[in-house]
Structure 1
Amino acid sequence: MAIQAPAKIQILAPEILSEIFQYCFPEDDYRRSTRRLDHAPLLLGRVCSRWRTVSLSTPDLWCNFSIGQYPPVFVADCRKDLDATRVLIARSASRPLSIFIQYDRNYSGRDLLPEIFDMIVSQSWRWKEIDMTVPIDFANILLAPFHAGTLPQLVNFDSVILGEGSASGHSIHLSSAPRLQRFHHDTYAEGVHIDFGGPIHVIRSVDVILFDNPRVSLSDLFTCLTHCPLLTKLDITIAESSRNSLPRELPPTIQLSHLRELSLWLFVGVDPCHLFDRLFLSALISLDLQMHVDDDDDTYTDWPHLKSMLSNSRPPLQTLLLHCVPISEATLIECLSYTPCLISFTIGEMKCTDTTLERLTMDNTDTSRSFCPCLEEVEFGSESSFSELAMIAMILSRRSSANPTGTTTGNSLQFVNCGPSVTRSIRSNPDIAKCLEAGLKLNPY
């Protein structure tokens, strides 16, 4: 009887088989759960004894895992997470760890979670990527390494803290993670402080979403801008605080030549005017600026600092969102003159009139008089007031189907949000009706 030759994969060297195994992981973090026996690496050890031996001797297979799950888990699941975490930490040897942690506020097994988290924190010197969603009760455990300075390999950190409460005295020191590239922190916890001080950071993305008395000040923002020169994205909330004062002497220019996306949400009493004047953002493509100005404060009649930044930087800005920024219409129009690449423009709680529409109306005979030729989306706030004729003229000048030549000098306008009264009145216009049939979207807020 002929002897069947073994399959080629059975005669591969262990080193090659180990390399192949590392390409067997699912892409979704939640599918790398310690409870999933139908996915690598646990599945590999169930094929045959040789595969089990090779998989157990390959630390790289065990350094990326997920614990917890949605919906709420049972006590037995938490106990499995505890045992599995202990095993995975041992099998991964000294390899950098990538861990996905997700526990809802309505979890079971409350008494076991501190032990699980303490075990993970004990390996913080190996953290490479951490993505965690945990109840506020345990936030201080998992964030402690940022205070202890034990994160030499951390590259990406993403945290969502569930529930409301106090984390008074809790600080996150980014200097504890010298290799950090991305930092996302989302919480309702009170008393959280993000410390951007220390040496110059290599971080590229900072996303800090804090509610209910966040403890990030203008001084912190200044430190962030001057200590993170490689930033490509910054999304941050600045709260009213006694620490909102800036240094007496500011550098004449604060240059962030890599910053492409900037989003600032400023509470009442927070004014980054002198800081904004000095920003040089030559690569900026998206700006979202939200200010909360006290209605009784008469000092805010115009805020020219946005104009200064745009004039100095001349960025290739494509998206501009302004909410409650106290600038005059003349200042706004000058700002638009510095944004020839603008595609999407939103202005809320600021008054615009036909004067703005006239500057946004394309003039095919004199393109130098036309602002924002690439504009595709425009949204005006409820305080704006326009005439029917001015709005129709602006829209038709930016729609090739409505132009006698069949072309426009820039992109075709796709979306307009201009309030209910203007929307109702211009819909009956025959030319606007044709634009609507051709795909134009006209919304009344």
Structure 2
Amino acid sequence: MSHDDDLSPQVPDDLAAKAAAFDDADPLAGYRAEFVHSDGVLAYLDGNSLGRPLRSSGRRLAEFVEGEWGERLIRSWDEQWMDRPTELGDLLGRVVLGAAAGQTVVADSTTVLLYKLARAAVQARSGRAEIVADTENFPTDRFILDAVAREAGLTLRWITPDPATGVQLHEVQQLLSDRTALVALSHVAYKSAYVADLPGITAAVHEAGALMLWDLCHSAGAVELGLDAADVDLAVGCSYKYLNGGPGAPAFAYVAERLHGELVQPIAGWMGHADPFAMGPSYQPAAGIRRFISGTPPILAMVPLHDMLVLLERAGMPQVRAKSVLLTEFAVELADTMLAPYGVAVASPRDPELRGGHVTLEHPAMSAAVAQLWDRGVIPDYRPPSGLRAGLSPLSTSFAEVAIAFAHIRDLLSSESG
């Protein structure tokens, strides 16, 4: 069954025409052909969990195995691999983060980097006794911050935000004091896609003399960022969502240059040493951002991430964000028109300035619906207690694909209610 055959009988004519018009006018439509698309998937709405692979990555991985690894063998460490975590970090900083060179490194997982930066931050503010976080953040963030607080003998001060609005500036300000060492929040909320006031919250945290750590997992590659312009201290993020690095792809850490000499990262591995091959008796951190590396970086896993960053640079983040806004606006319109009659509520902000790259739809039947959608080849994801997340990757997702997915959601809910 073709996508067109599937679209016409299920999507209202006006919405089908609108999807087609959006796709025809989309300046980024040509990029869809650069991704792997399976015939068994009618609509992929989970790019905010795992992005599609690029076709070029398969070829590049094979070339890597034959050339950099197979031909050059151990010599590639001296020739190019030692600098790859920082060179790729510079590319990521320039294309996605709004960060000057020398402040971003690709290594480890988000969990490990969260620990490193949080632990280093509270040590750098050792006279202070509190960490501020929020109860709606992703579990890993909450678990890591709790572990750091216990390890350092600090108190966690919890914000309990309205899930529909996300963490507000005034909520952060209410908990800030001269006891605050660190504030750690997600820029885009993983449930609702609410976009926090990154510049405003960062400035308030600095006024209190504390450090600010942002989780950019749901921002990088979907939302324009300006870390340097906002005077951000610290940030981490993964590369397997909108950056299409693949399952288990390495994460990234941003540390503002002004903090390099002040922060002592807690996992002192040989690759972060000033002279890794000295094999000396004690640890001396490398200069600059390299000091935040610990063990041997996953060089092979950096190949797909590099490919996607090159593609993003070619497309341009302003254009990517513009399409992201159009995709999510269309998803909200489809939800209001096709799904609201069945009791579906849009749990993401309606203001596109406050909405990231996904739209969350709430309904008591969503858990069962997602399982059935997967069987149909429509792939969103589910987040408790009742949220279907439609993650819309701008370079690989068409408007027709979104319309098809929502038609299938409507069919399942109409069967449920009928």
TM-score (norm 1): 0.22
- Name which one, 1 or 2, has greater alpha-carbon Rg: 1
Higher helix share: 2
TM-score (norm 2): 0.23
Q: Which has the higher contact order (CA 8 A, sep 6+)?
A: 2
